[in-house]
């Protein structure tokens, strides 16, 4: 589904957090939002999800105004939200209570397979690695068949090797499911590896400084000249000189 942000401004008390943010996210697009800490990235995502109301502007999804949370729009957060008292299959099937048992089991099996957790269906979160827990959360989000998937720095708490693995997993899942994805990250490399386009935000109050199209086919060579050019362009836009 298409997500449209129109003239979004947000204030908390006397603090202006977002100012005049306008951007369209096309159906099936993978859009990353980057910018300095405190620039309103997560606030923008929460407005799109219906958890916050802007002081000015509107968000629409396929033309319908966002007025509150909706199970068609699912969040995945950095703080892992798996339920420790449920197994892998219990977590993935948590939002499918309104389906007949046979369909629920089929849907759970489909997403267990999609995220590569066959053999762990009966395992509890304490028995899983951090990356596996994150895959459970992504599978749970996808299992309810959302129109839009919002991810707020979902890999930020993982070690660097697991983050790379999870990026590859997420891309594989996205190519299979083709959901519209809005992904907030502080990691420039992550945004260039994942996104169709990267929205670069200014310091608070957050405005759109630039939208960078990532014109590299997947899978992306992280050492290619074009990848490095785009990465360094984004670093430059947020005022950082990238050094390796």
Q: Which CATH code for domain 1-72+149-159+180-244?
A: 3.40.50.300
- Please compute, for residue 224, the number of CA atoms within 13 A of its CA located in the half-sphere on the CB side: 14
What per-residue confidence (pLDDT) applies to 168?
A: 86
Give tens-digit pLDDT for 112-151.
988 889 999 999 999 998 888 888 988 888 888 888 999 9
Contact of 79 with 95, CB cutoff 8 Å: no
**Cα separation, 241 vs 178, whole angstroms:** 34
Give tens-digit pLDDT for 175-192.
888 889 999 999 999 999
Task: Report the predicted TM-score, pTM, of the whole model to 2 decimal places.
Answer: 0.86
What per-residue confidence (pLDDT) applies to 163?
A: 81
CA dihedral of 118, 124, 127, 132, whole degrees rounded to 10: 50
Residue 142: partners with Cβ closer than 8 Å, 6 or more residues away:
74, 111, 114, 149, 173, 177, 179
**Cα separation, 125 vs 139, whole angstroms:** 14
Domain boundaries, the chain: 1-72+149-159+180-244, 78-145
């Amino acid at each position: 589904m298409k997500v449209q942000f129109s003239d979004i401004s947000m204030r908390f008390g006397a603090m202006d957090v977002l100012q005049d943010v306008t951007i369209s996210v096309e159906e099936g697009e993978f859009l990353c939002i980057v910018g300095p800490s405190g620039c309103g990235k997560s606030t923008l995502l929460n407005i799109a999800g219906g958890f916050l109301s802007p002081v000015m502007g509107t968000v629409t999804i396929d033309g319908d105004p966002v007025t509150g949370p909706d199970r068609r729009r699912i969040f995945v957060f950095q703080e892992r939200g798996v339920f420790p008292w449920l197994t892998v299959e219990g977590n993935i099937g948590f939002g499918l209570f309104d389906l007949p048992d046979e369909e629920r089991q089929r849907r759970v099996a489909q997403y267990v397979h999609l995220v590569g957790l066959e053999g762990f269906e009966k395992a509890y979160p304490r028995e899983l690695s951090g990356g596996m827990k994150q895959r459970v959360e992504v599978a749970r989000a996808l299992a309810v068949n959302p129109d839009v998937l919002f991810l707020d720095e979902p890999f930020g708490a993982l070690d660097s090797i697991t983050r790379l693995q999870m990026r590859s997993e997420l891309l594989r899942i996205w190519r299979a499911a083709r959901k519209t994805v809005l992904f907030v990250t502080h990691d420039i490399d992550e945004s260039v590896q994942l996104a169709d386009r990267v929205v670069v935000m200014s310091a608070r109050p957050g405005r759109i400084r630039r939208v960078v199209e990532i014109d590299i086919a997947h899978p992306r060579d992280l050492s290619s000249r074009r990848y490095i050019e785009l990465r360094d362009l984004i670093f430059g836009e947020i005022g950082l000189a990238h050094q390796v």
